[in-house]
Structure 1
Amino acid sequence: MSQQRLSYDGSAPGPGLARLIVVVVLAAFAGVYVLAAPFRTGETVRTVGTVALTVLVFASLLAWVLPRAARFRGVALATVQVLLAGLDVLAFGTSVGILAFAAGTLLLTSYALPALAVLAGAAVIAVLRAPGAAAAADAAITPVLGALVVYGLVRLADRVADLAAARPALTMAAVSRERLRIADELNTGIGRGLDAITAGSRRALDHPEEIDEVLRVARGSLADARAAAAGFRAMSLAPEAAAARALLAAAGIEAEVRTGHEEPLGSAGALLATVLREAVTEVVRQGTATRCVIETSERDGRVRLRVSNNGPPTAARGEEGLADAAARVEAAGGTLTTGLGADGRFAVEATIAATPRPVSLPDPTAYGLSVTLLAVVVAGFCVKALLQLSWGANLAVAVVGMALIAALQLRWAVDDRPRHRYALIAAQTLLSLAPVLWIGATWIGAVGFLAGTFLVALPIRIGAPLVAAAMAGTGAMSAALSLGPARIVNYTVSTLVTGLVVYGLVRLARLVRDLRAAGEELARAATVQERLRAARDLHDLLGHSLAAMLLKCELARRLGKVDPARARAELTEVVAMAEQARADLRAASGAGEPEMSLETEIESARSVLTAAGVETRVERGHGPLPGPAATVLSTVLREAVTNVLRHSSARHCVITTTSEAGLVTLTVENDGLDPRARRTPPGSGIGNLTTRLAAIDGTLTARPDGTGGFRLQAHVRPDAED
C-alpha cells in the first residue's frame, strides 16, 4: 500500500500551493478580458481604461486570497470592487463576466443578497446587449459560473489552510484522548492493585498472616503491568518488526521488512505481533534459512502479515509455537496458514480484521463539497456550449458528448491514477476534437476541458506542452472555420482559462483530500507513539517496582518467624516502593513526568539485589546530575537489576558510575550467565532504554563477555542536554 506522505506547516507547500493555484487561475480569468479589450474597443484610450479597471478589480480580489492582505478585507473594498467592475462594463463595454469577481467577493464577505443583485444586473445587461435568446442566456450564465469559481477556489484554499492549521490541535487531541484512555485502564487495574499492596503491607506489619494476600495481589499487578505494556506495544507492529530484524541479524539471516499497513492496529496488532514473534523464532530455531522477508498489507478492512524464508521446509515447521497463535487468530475471526508459497518460499501468513481507527479531521464534508463545486462548474460550461446549438440531431450528439466529457473530467478529481489512464485521455481527446467536424465552432470550447485533463492527469513536463498544443490547435480550428481575429483569440485564451479552472478545482480538491489523510495519519502516529511511551514507562518504571515489591514480600514471608524485625523492615520498604510506584503509574498514564534520583535508585538496587542473595558492590564516581540525565540513568539501572534477577543466576554484581571529560557512565556487571545457553529473542527493555538515551544524545551497550558475565553500560553528557 503506497501512501502519499505530506508535510504541511502553516504556510507552504499546502496552503501556499493552494493560494498560488487560486491566484494563477483568477489571473488567467482576468486575462481574458484584458486580451479582448483591443478587439472590442478599437481605441487606445478605451483599451487602456478597460485594462486598468480589470486589473484593479482583480487586484482587489486578492485581499480575500492572500493572508497578508487580509487587513484590507471588508465592506468598503467590496463596494469599491463592485463600482469598478460596473464602470468597466457600462463605460467601456467589457463583458458582464467581469462582474463575477464582484459577485464572488460579496459571497466571500457573506453578502448573498448584494451578490444576487450584481448577478441579476449582469443578466439584464446581457439580455440588452445580446442579439438573441441563446446568446443572452450564455452571457447571463457566464458571471454566475465565474462567481462560483471565484467563491469556490478561495474557499477551497481556505479549507486547505484550515486543515493544515488543525493538524497540531488534532494531534494533541488524539494524544489527550489516548492518555485519558490509558489512565483509565491503568488506574482501574494496576492502580487498585497498588492501593491494595500498600494497605496490605501496612496491615502485615502487625499481622504477618496478611503477607500471603499481599503476595497474591503483587503477582497479579505485575502480570497486569506486563500485559498492559505488551498490549500498548501491540498497537504498532513496528517494535516487533524491529525486534524480529535484530533477532534474525544475530542469527546470520538477512532480513527485509516491507510495511503496507496503517497504524495503530489495536487488538489486531497484538495478535499479529504474536504471530510474527513465533514465526521468526521458528525460522531461527530451524537454522536453515539465509533470508527472511516480513511483509504487511491492508485491504478491504483486513490486515495481512506474511513471514517467508528460503529454508527447506520440514515436517515440524509451523507446528511448534504457532499452534496457540493460530487458535487465537481463528478465535478472532482471522486465518493463519503455513506452507510453500507461489514463490517457492516457506511462509507463515495471517489475516485478521483491522481495528477501527477513530481519528478524523474537522470539516469532513470539505472534499465532497469541492467535488460538487467542480461538477457544477463543469455542468455550467457544458450548458453554455449547448445553448449555442439548435434543436436537432447535433444537439442530441452534443448532449451525449458533453456528458461523457463531464464524467471523464470528474473522474480525475476522485482518482489520481485510474486504470487505463492513457486510454481515458485518448478517449477525451477524441470527444473534444472530432465533433468539431460536424458541430462546428460551438464545440471548440470543449478543448478547454481537454487542457484541464492534460494538467491534472499528466506530469507538468508533459502536460504543459500538450496544453500549448491544444491552444495552438484551437486557434488553427478557429481560423479554419473562418472566425474573426477576436473570436480566434477568445477561443485560444479560453482554452487555457478553462483548463486552469478545471486544474485549480481538481488540484484543490486533491489537496483537501490529501491533507485530511496526512492529518489523520499524523494523529494515528501520535497515538501509537503515546502508547509506546506508556509501554516503555510500564516496563521500565512500574514493572521494576512491582518485581522488587514481590521479591521483598517473599523475603518478608520467609523472615516472618526467624527475624520479625527484619521482616517488618522489608515490609516498610514495600510500602515506600508502592508509594513510588503510584508516582510511576501517573507518569506512565501521561499525568506527570517521572523524576528519579540516581542516588536513591542505586541504594534501592543494592537493597533489592541483596534481598535476592546477590552480593553487590557499588562504586560511585559521578557528581550532581540534572533531572533528565538522572532519570534516564535511574531507569537504565532499574532495567539492569531486573535483567540480573530474571535472566541470570548471579551471585555477584558491581554497579559503577564514572565521570570523565563531561561524560557520565553507568556500568552494571554481573556473573551467572551460562555461555552455552541458546540465545533467546530480545525483549523490549533494551530497546526502550536505547530510545530513552537517544532522546538526550546518550548511548547504550549491553552484551555478554563470553565467560559467563554480562556488562551493561550507559553513557550520557549532561552538559549537552541544553
Structure 2
Amino acid sequence: MSEIVEGRSPGRARLIVGAVLASFAGVYVLAAPARTEGAVRVAAAIALVAVVFAVPVVRVASRDGRWRWGIPVQAAAAYAGVLAFGTSPGILGFAAGSLLLAGAWPVAAAVVGSAAVLGGADVTITCLLTGLVVYGLVRLADRADDTAAARLPVTLAAVARERLRIAAELNRGLGDGLREISEGSRRALERPEAIADVLDVARRSLNEARAAAADFRSMSLAPEASAARALLESAGVRAEVRTSHGEPLGPAGALLAMALREAVTDVVRVGTARTCVIETSEADGFVRLRVVNDGVRTAELGEEGLEDAARRVRAAGGAFATGLGEDGRFAVEASVKAGERPVSLPDRAAYRLSVGLLAAVLAGFAVKGLLQVPWGPEWPVAAALLVLIGAVQLFWTSTGRPRAWAPYLAVLSFAPVPLLGKAWLGVAGFLVGTLLVGLPRRVAVPLVAAVMAAVGAGAWALRLGPAAVTNYVISTLVTGLVVYGLVRLARLVRDLRAAGEELARAATVQERLRAARDLHDLLGHSLAAILLKCELARRLADVDPKRARAELEEVVAMAERAGKDLETATGGEAGLSLDGEARSARSVLTAAGVEVEMDLAHGEVPDGTSAVLGTVLREAVTNVLRHSAATRCVIATAQEEGVVRLVVENDGLDPAAPRTAPGSGIGNLTTRLASAGGTLSARADGKGGFRVEAVVGQSRPGEGAG
C-alpha cells in the first residue's frame, strides 16, 4: 500500500500495459521470419509491427486526443503487414482495440470482420480477443490515473464537508450562546440583575465547548496517547506507545481515552514504575487498549482507582480487566466495540471490467481450443475441462486468493495433454497468470520459466516443429501476462481508491482534532474569561457600579472576540496575536486577584509565530486560573536571532499535591508548536511554581526545554 499512497501506481499501471502489449507484439515479431523470406522483407514486417504496437503505447503514455491521428497509420501498417508480408491477420486486433478506445465501435467490428475474411475462424477469435484486451488494459490504466488524481480533491471535499458539519454543530449551540451573552451583557449595563442570566448562559456555553472538544477528540486516541506519554516521562517513567487500530473511533475513542487517562494516572500515583507500555489493536470489530507497567502493585488492589473506567466500559458492552501477569507486570486491559465507520466501498467498476474481459478471453480461448479437437469422445472431455478451468480462474479472480488454486490449475494444465495433444498446450498460460498474480516475484519468475519449459517439452514430445514449439512457449507467456495485467490493474485501481478513502478519512479526523484544539485553546479560554468577568461584575454591582459596568462592557467585547474564535474553530482564519493575548491575560489575571509581572521584549514577529504563541499564552493563563492558587504570574517574551521565546510562570502549585493526568491543552499546544517548528516545556519546579516555556524558530536541539 505504501507505493500506492506515494502515487507510483499510475506509472506501474502503464508499465503493466506496456509489458502486455509488448508481449503481443513480440509474437508477431518472432513469427516474421517464418512468414516471409529475405532479410529486407523480414525487417519491413517487423517495422510494420512496431508501428502497429506504437499507437496504443502512445495512447497509454498520453491521454490527449492527438493519438487518434495515428489510428489510420496503424490500420494501414497492420493491413500492409498482412497483405504484403504474410503477417497473421490477428494483428488487426491492435487496430480494432484502438478504434474501440476512440469510440468507433462499428469500424472496429468491420476490422474484425475483415480478419475473418483474411484468416478464418481461429484468426478472427485472436483478432477479437486482442482488440478487447488492448481496450480493457488501456481503460484500466486510465482508471488508475483518474483514481490517483482524484485523491486530493476527494480529501479536500471531505475536509470541507467536515467543516460545514462542525460549523452547523457549533453554531446551533455555542453561536447562539455567544449572542445571548453579548445581548444579555448589554441589558445588564442598564439592569444589573440581568447579570445572573448572563452567568448561566456563560456556564452552559463553556460546558458545551468542553463537551464538543471532547467529542471531537474522541475520534482519535492520538491526543490522549501524547498526553499520557508526556505525563509518564515527566514522572520519570519510560513510555512506549504502539498503536495498530483504525480511526476514527467515535464513542469507542472517548471510552478508551478515559480508560487510558485513568490507567496512566494510576501508574504515576503508585509511583514505583520505571517503564510503561501502551498498546492498541483491533480485531473482530473491537478496539483493545492495554497499559502494562513494571511498578510494584499487589493483585488485591485490582481495579482500585480505576472503578469509574471499568464501570463505563462495561456499561457500553465492553470488557475491562486488571491484574498481574506472569512476568510480574501490572496490566490494565479494556476493549470496546469499534462501531460503524462510514467509508465508501472501493470502486467495483474496475473489477467488473477486468472480470468481464477475462471471461471473454477464457471463452475465446475455449473456442479456439475446441476448434483444434476432432469431434469424438475427446471433445466433450475437452469442453468440460475448459469450463472447469474457466470457473476456477474466475473464482480466484473474484475471491482474490489465487495461490491456493495454483496446484489445481497445474494438474488441469498438463494432465490432459496425452489425451488431447497440442490443443491443450495453451492452457498453461492461465497457470502462468495465476503464478504471477498470486506469488512473490522471486518465486513466480522461476516457476513461470519452468511452466514455459514444460510447454516447450510437451510440444517437442508431440513432434511439433521448432516454429510451433516457439509459438506455444511464447503464447503461454502472453496469455499469462494478459491474465496478470487484467487482474493486477483492477487491484491497483481498487487499492488506489481505498487509499484515497483512507486519506480522506484521516483528513476528517485531523479536521476534528483541529476543531477540538481551537475549541479548547481559543473558545474555552474566552468563555472562561467571560465567566470570570461576569462573576466579578455581579459582585461589584452593589459596591462599585461604575467598575461593574466597565467589566460588563469588556464582556461584550470579549463575546465578540469569542465569536471570531468560533469562526476559527469552524475553519476560519485565526485572528490571535501575542500582543493582544498579553493584554487580555493581564486583564483577566488581575480581575482574578493575581499579581502580574510582564516583560515583553519580542519585538516584531511573523503573524504565524504571533498567533501560535498567543495560543500558548491563552492556555497557560487558563491553567493558572483553573488549576492553581496562584498569587503571582510572570509573563516574559524575548527574541534573539529569529528565535522567539515565551515564558509563563506562576506560584500556585502545591508541591505536596499528587500528580494528575494533564488535560488536552498541553498535547494540543505541543502539536501546534511542532507544526510551527517550535518546542514546548511545561513542568513544576518542585517549589510550588509551574513554568511553561515555548520556543519558535531555528532553535538548537533541546533549546527551550527549560
Q: TM-score, normalised by structure 1?
A: 0.91
* Aligned pair partner of 1:671 in 651, 657, 663: 651
Q: List runs of 5+ in structure 2 lacking aligned partners.
A: 701-706
The reply to whether residue 443 of structure 1 matches residue 424 of structure 2 is yes
2 CA distance for matches of 1:670 and 1:562?
Answer: 30
The answer to whether the 8 A contact 2:602-2:644 is kept is yes
Q: 1:677 is paired with a residue of what secondary structure?
A: coil
Q: What per-residue deviation string (whole Å, max 9, x for no partner) do you get for residues 256-295 of structure 1?
A: 4343332222233223322333343344445566655444
Rate the CA distance shift 1:343–1:380 in 2: closer, same or farther, 3 A. Answer: farther
* Aligned pair partner of 2:515 in 534, 548, 555: 534
Q: What per-residue deviation string (whole Å, max 9, x for no partner) do you get for residues 228-268 of structure 1?
A: 11111111122222223333444555544343332222233
* Aligned pair partner of 1:246 in 220, 230, 239: 230
The reply to whether residue 95 of structure 1 matches residue 88 of structure 2 is yes
Give the match for residue 336 of structure 1. Answer: 319
Which sits farther off after the overlay, 508-517 or 659-668? Answer: 659-668
The answer to whether the 8 A contact 1:100-1:144 is kept is yes
* Aligned pair partner of 1:5 in 2, 11, 25: 2
Q: 2:542 is paired with a residue of what secondary structure?
A: coil
1:14-53 to structure 2, matched below 5 A, reads 14-53=9-48
1 CA distance for matches of 2:590 and 2:318?
Answer: 49
Q: List runs of 5+ in structure 1 lacking aligned partners.
A: 128-135
Give the match for residue 663 of structure 2. Answer: 683
The alpha-carbon deviation at position 482 of structure 1 amounts to 0.2
The alpha-carbon deviation at position 644 of structure 1 amounts to 0.8
The answer to whether the 8 A contact 2:286-2:336 is kept is yes
The answer to whether the 8 A contact 1:282-1:318 is kept is no
The alpha-carbon deviation at position 436 of structure 1 amounts to 1.6
Q: 2:213 is paired with a residue of what secondary structure?
A: helix
Give the match for residue 194 of structure 1. Answer: 178
Give the match for residue 148 of structure 2. Answer: 164
2 CA distance for matches of 1:373 and 1:322?
Answer: 60
Q: 2:299 is paired with a residue of what secondary structure?
A: coil
* Aligned pair partner of 2:133 in 149, 161, 166: 149
Q: What per-residue deviation string (whole Å, max 9, x for no partner) do you get for residues 203-226 of structure 1?
A: 111111111111111011111111
1 CA distance for matches of 2:370 and 2:531?
Answer: 84
Q: 1:510 is paired with a residue of what secondary structure?
A: helix
Q: 1:678 is paired with a residue of what secondary structure?
A: coil
The reply to whether residue 125 of structure 1 matches residue 115 of structure 2 is no
2 CA distance for matches of 1:357 and 1:659?
Answer: 47
1:444-523 to structure 2, matched below 5 A, reads 444-523=425-504
The answer to whether the 8 A contact 2:314-2:320 is kept is no
Rate the CA distance shift 1:397–1:243 in 2: closer, same or farther, 3 A. Answer: farther
The answer to whether the 8 A contact 1:57-1:84 is kept is yes
The answer to whether the 8 A contact 2:209-2:523 is kept is yes
AA aligned opposite 1:265: L
The answer to whether the 8 A contact 1:63-1:70 is kept is no
2 CA distance for matches of 1:669 and 1:217?
Answer: 32
Q: 1:620 is paired with a residue of what secondary structure?
A: strand
Give the match for residue 704 of structure 2. Answer: none
Give the match for residue 275 of structure 1. Answer: 259
The answer to whether the 8 A contact 1:542-1:581 is kept is yes
Q: 1:142 is paired with a residue of what secondary structure?
A: helix
Give the match for residue 207 of structure 2. Answer: 223
* Aligned pair partner of 1:55 in 50, 54, 58: 50
1 CA distance for matches of 2:314 and 2:386?
Answer: 52
The reply to whether residue 588 of structure 1 matches residue 569 of structure 2 is yes
The answer to whether the 8 A contact 1:359-1:524 is kept is no
2 CA distance for matches of 1:446 and 1:253?
Answer: 64
Q: 1:431 is paired with a residue of what secondary structure?
A: helix
The size of the alignment, in residue pairs, is: 697
Q: What per-residue deviation string (whole Å, max 9, x for no partner) do you get for residues 130-157 of structure 1?
A: xxxxxx2x32211111111100100000
The reply to whether residue 385 of structure 1 matches residue 369 of structure 2 is yes
The answer to whether the 8 A contact 1:412-1:457 is kept is no
1:40-439 to structure 2, matched below 5 A, reads 40-67=35-62, 70=64, 72-74=66-68, 76-127=69-120, 136=121, 138-286=122-270, 292-299=276-283, 301-308=285-292, 314-318=299-303, 320-323=305-308, 325-326=309-310, 328-329=312-313, 332=316, 334-339=317-322, 346-359=331-344, 364-410=348-394, 413-414=397-398, 421=403, 424-439=405-420
2 CA distance for matches of 1:185 and 1:649?
Answer: 35
1:700-719 to structure 2, matched below 5 A, reads 700-717=680-697
* Aligned pair partner of 1:698 in 641, 653, 678: 678
The answer to whether the 8 A contact 1:445-1:491 is kept is yes
Q: What per-residue deviation string (whole Å, max 9, x for no partner) do you get for residues 360-411 of structure 1?
A: 67x5522333233333323433343233224555444434543444444445
1 CA distance for matches of 2:469 and 2:46?
Answer: 20
The answer to whether the 8 A contact 2:269-2:659 is kept is no
The reply to whether residue 649 of structure 1 matches residue 626 of structure 2 is no
Q: 1:619 is paired with a residue of what secondary structure?
A: strand
Rate the CA distance shift 1:197–1:364 in 2: closer, same or farther, 3 A. Answer: farther
Q: 1:624 is paired with a residue of what secondary structure?
A: coil
AA aligned opposite 1:338: A
Identity of aligned residues (%): 61
Q: TM-score, normalised by structure 2?
A: 0.93
The answer to whether the 8 A contact 1:616-1:653 is kept is yes
2 CA distance for matches of 1:287 and 1:93?
Answer: 88
AA aligned opposite 1:271: L
Rate the CA distance shift 1:389–1:341 in 2: closer, same or farther, 3 A. Answer: farther
AA aligned opposite 2:9: G
Rate the CA distance shift 1:266–1:365 in 2: closer, same or farther, 3 A. Answer: farther
The alpha-carbon deviation at position 471 of structure 1 amounts to 2.0
The answer to whether the 8 A contact 1:268-1:355 is kept is no
